[in-house]
Chains A and B, each alone.
Chain A
Amino acid sequence: MSVSTCPSEPRAAGALDALDRAIVLATQSGLPLVPDPWGAVGRSLGLDGDEVRSRMARMQEAGIIRRVAAVPNHYRLGYLANGMTVWNVDDAEVLRLGCEVARLPGVSHCYRRPRHLPDWPYNLFVMLHGRTRAEVERQAERLRERLGDACRDHRILYSSRILKKTGLRLAGRVDRQGGQR
């Protein structure tokens, strides 16, 4: 199910030109649901569909596009327990262990982040998703076993309220040369 992003090599992004940026703007709200989506995007930009598709493929190759995919709403799929688990892991071990636990079931995002001592000793963040809190706790237990003695302490911070969820908006970050829909 997963493509390993470990070790997380920064891929050379390469420069985006004005047409790439126009494609980003034209697709950030979604890809058209028509038989020829590349052509549909292209028509709004004065490009042919093959040009749109090959530019998007190049951006995906460079990691600028992670993938072209469906983004599910966790709750609507029945994933009611979404826990941000945070772990205080030995700095000498965190890279190796981060790679390992990132592959465990239930993990969507896994990052190393800075500690803020004394308030916040946790340096490894692992998002876990389950249908129930018990399921998330089982996933967290597997993580704890994998981290072993390198982990001093951990917490599960469940989200108890969505305060805002607009998603990332890229418009304005990219220039508008080349037109847009």
Chain B
Amino acid sequence: MTVAPQRRPEPAELDAADRRIVNRLQQGLPLVASPYAVVAAELALTEGELLYRLERLLEAGVLSRFGPMYHAERLGGGLTLAALAVPEADFERVVAIVNAFPEVAHNYRREHRLNMWFVLATETPQRIHEVIAEIEAATGLAVFNMPKQEEFHVRLHLPV
């Protein structure tokens, strides 16, 4: 688990084949036998070259992950977006408290009075409320719980 705040990585240099791979594989691997060979053929690469480049893109952090993207709620878990209005002088203390919860999957500082925004992912939906109560007790701040009521679209696709 990473508790320390992270720096923003720099943009990577990608050649044309890397770009084709990044663009194509954001859309999804076909669930067929020899799936990498199928995608490699589409991209005019050999299977070995695709696998080698994919490994390199992961090592270089251009891709943060390659694999199945699971739908947390459909696996029976709880998921929510929550926000805090943290007094500036207290910000680092609250970062440490919030990040120490393993249920906090992402946490971003944003420029607003509500200046800390984090995603909670829990084993059960009920556990969300317990974690929120624990964060409120530990920080002394009110948590704004903003669970999704309707999902219109979830598909991160960043063409390069």
Q: Mark A17-54, 1 if CB is under 8 A from B, else 0.
A: 00000001001111101111110000000000110010
Taking the closest CB of chain A, its distance from the CB of B115, in whole angstroms, is 9
Taking the closest CB of chain A, its distance from the CB of B31, in whole angstroms, is 4
For chain B, residues 90 to 130, give those with C-beta under 8 angstroms from any C-beta of chain A.
95, 98-99, 102, 104-114, 116-119, 121, 123
**Dominant SS among interface residues on chain A:** mixed
Indicate if the CB atoms of A71 and B66 lie closer than 8 Å.
yes
By size class, the interface of chain A is 35 or more
Indicate if the CB atoms of B154 and A160 lie closer than 8 Å.
no
By size class, the interface of chain B is 35 or more
Ordered by A's residue number, 25 sampled pairs between the chains whose C-beta atoms are within 8 Å are: A5-B152, A24-B70, A31-B68, A33-B66, A49-B33, A60-B31, A62-B74, A66-B69, A68-B69, A69-B25, A69-B69, A71-B63, A74-B158, A76-B62, A77-B62, A95-B150, A99-B152, A102-B152, A112-B150, A113-B147, A119-B114, A129-B158, A161-B108, A164-B99, A164-B118
A residues apposed to B, CB below 8 Å: 1-6, 8, 11, 13, 16, 24, 27-31, 33-38, 49-50, 53, 56-57, 59-60, 62-80, 84, 94-95, 98-99, 101-103, 107-114, 116, 119-120, 125, 129, 155, 157-170, 172-174
B residues apposed to A, CB below 8 Å: 1-3, 5-12, 14, 21-22, 25-29, 31-37, 47, 51, 54-55, 57-58, 60-72, 74-77, 79, 81, 83, 85, 95, 98-99, 102, 104-114, 116-119, 121, 123, 144-160
